[in-house]
Structure 1
């Protein structure tokens, strides 16, 4: 895509008819404030944060010492042969994939051999695995570097290992678009379904909480240096001063309504109704960023007006300049204070591509239950933001649709519309 290009799907097929509805029939969440969909959702509704001091390594010498860690994760349920081959991020992804398939009641073996694909997003790959092997290389020599390093570090490894473990031989891929990746993955998965694939396992999972991975994050100069968890991540707040690195994400099962109905499934979390993505113009061009274009195109793709959106799940970068840009984009699309806005990253931290996947999961659950989870208490907001930020307690969702926004470093902008499914 060029800076002007917009990626979306027309709701109509080439013959002029409407394409089949795409449903989310399975879901699993791994987050710092709760692993498992129900645990995550309960924490989100209660406004409970998972941000705390880093325990996975000694961070006392680093300027940022807080993160969104997933506690008590045990990969023992995975085959023993996989453990020495895989990084923590892949172990999280494999566990989540199994739960998402179980949640959907989907047996890939019951579908055509090439009927189920995998599309994930990732920004970092297996950093912790790579660090261990670099330490072995430095301390012991090349003979002590694991042959599994050849793939365990790679950002496509989650897609590959999920595909192998579950025999998913349909179209597959991986996207690397920063925090926007979680939305871009599901957008690409929807495209696969419209080309005839029966089901796609999609979403994003991240984990790079090790010294090597953390140093990479620090180079961006956007991390919070707060020492108190409640002051660390304040999206849209006057005291916003940086992001908090985290691990986690969400994996989803996407199916066409026809395919889900054919296998007798009646379960769904909602419809993936609209998707769009675009690039920002080149720095210094003087042209506005692309988030407004992405949001409006997603609404058009879903066939809804802005007034139909009951909540916006914002990126919530917690960096003053980025927050101001996002608030201005929301105001331009909806009007000042015209739609409730929430930022899940205030509770979970920011797990790369997994952040937008978490936002998408929260939006689906909000549409299902008619409740908007609150942003953490960010204190006063700049008057210039002009958005209706949900804080303190959940708010009732007006209508049956929500918009999810995401941006990735380097100029990526993505937007997804979800709504309550209308199934016969």
Structure 2
């Protein structure tokens, strides 16, 4: 039935999710780690990771070939392996009926790409033996959309294939993009989320980056993906409606001191668009960046009294995957807490490069 004139257009529902996190591969490990407040940040093995950090939050024991097998993984880098593994887990559990219409099932993946692959390939181009200098099989890893393309090929997803990058807000941008594709009729089901890898080169860059006057936090890695479709399609396929996407808003700021004001406008806009009030929000999952940006985010959320779910202190700075973990945490919390059924959850992100975002959900 068409929406009445002036009424909000119904958003898609989230009918499945999968996560690869510092707690391990799978939703159960992630949910249990959060439920117990387990800190997944651990000392770094400097022999394997010569990085300027003493601790990090890595996906435990992750090895691309061990997880995905030897076929097609000889030149696959870490971020692509994490993406392909997470897509596989989601499809294994929630993919009933999707294989029958591969052209209508797509992937919108947020990522920063692999700094390690880019810098390794560049070094080889300058120092490798002639005449070839580099291993051409590793060139695709230097392109930002490699994890998205390789995951789609491996799992036969023939619908829209999109890569999004936006710092800490990446996953929220990916979900918005997937929502627009669904509304435009470009697919009937879309996997959307974000991934990030831990690497020596990422650690070196992050160590010297500007962190709002605060010391850099331990780095994390992993990813989370969510299955988006309309409610009718989910129910026909026997998938649960885990949450309804009510809307998202994004803005930019030039000065760090303006981030809170800009984010507050995002929050107000997304609530107004859904016809909701600040006191309707039962669960808040902020990004909690370090330093001044974190204080700005706290300022923007001062008027909201919902329960806050801390995350970064448990799993570190997950880079492009940060908001994906935040959304996964909201779904895990809803599954464990019946009082959150039919309540609103708000996920916010503030990126040091000047982007803020807010995503509003109705938990089911």
Common fold by TM > 0.5: yes
Q: Which residue of 2 aligns with 1:300?
A: 272
Q: Which residue of 2 aligns with 1:175?
A: 164
Q: Deviations over 1:17-44 (max 9, x none)?
A: 6534411112111111333111011000
The equivalent position to 1:148 in structure 2, one of 126, 137, 144, is: 137
Structure 1 distance, partners of 2:51, 2:235, is: 55
Q: CA RMSD in A?
A: 2.7
Q: Which residue of 2 aligns with 1:129?
A: 117
1:198-347 matched pairs, under 5 angstroms: 198-210=188-200, 212-222=201-211, 241-262=215-236, 264-280=237-253, 282-283=254-255, 289-317=261-289, 319-331=290-302, 333-334=303-304, 338-347=305-314
1:34 aligns to 2:12 (yes or no): no
Does the aligned pair in 2 maintain the 1:89–1:207 contact within 8 Å? yes
Structure 2 distance, partners of 1:79, 1:60, is: 27
Q: Deviations over 1:115-157 (max 9, x none)?
A: 111111112x123333443454455335241213332122211
Identify the range of structure 1 (101-110 vs 291-300) with the bigger mean alpha-carbon deviation.
Answer: 101-110
Distance 1:293 1:50, change over 3 A: same
Q: TM-score, normalised by structure 1?
A: 0.77
The equivalent position to 2:182 in structure 1, one of 190, 193, 201, is: 193
1:360 aligns to 2:331 (yes or no): no
1:120 aligns to 2:95 (yes or no): no
1:80 aligns to 2:70 (yes or no): yes
Structure 2 distance, partners of 1:321, 1:276, is: 22
Structure 1 distance, partners of 2:142, 2:212, is: 24
Q: Secondary structure at the match of 2:72?
A: helix
Does the aligned pair in 2 maintain the 1:275–1:417 contact within 8 Å? yes
In the alignment, structure 2 segments of 5+ residues that lack a partner are: none
Distance 1:406 1:98, change over 3 A: same
Deviation at 1:330, TM superposition (A): 0.4
Structure 2 distance, partners of 1:57, 1:302, is: 51
The equivalent position to 2:14 in structure 1, one of 13, 24, 42, is: 24
Q: Deviations over 1:213-248 (max 9, x none)?
A: 222112214399xxxxxxxxxxxxxxx744221111
Give the total of aligned pairs.
360
In the alignment, structure 1 segments of 5+ residues that lack a partner are: 1-11, 225-239, 372-395
Structure 2 distance, partners of 1:321, 1:122, is: 25
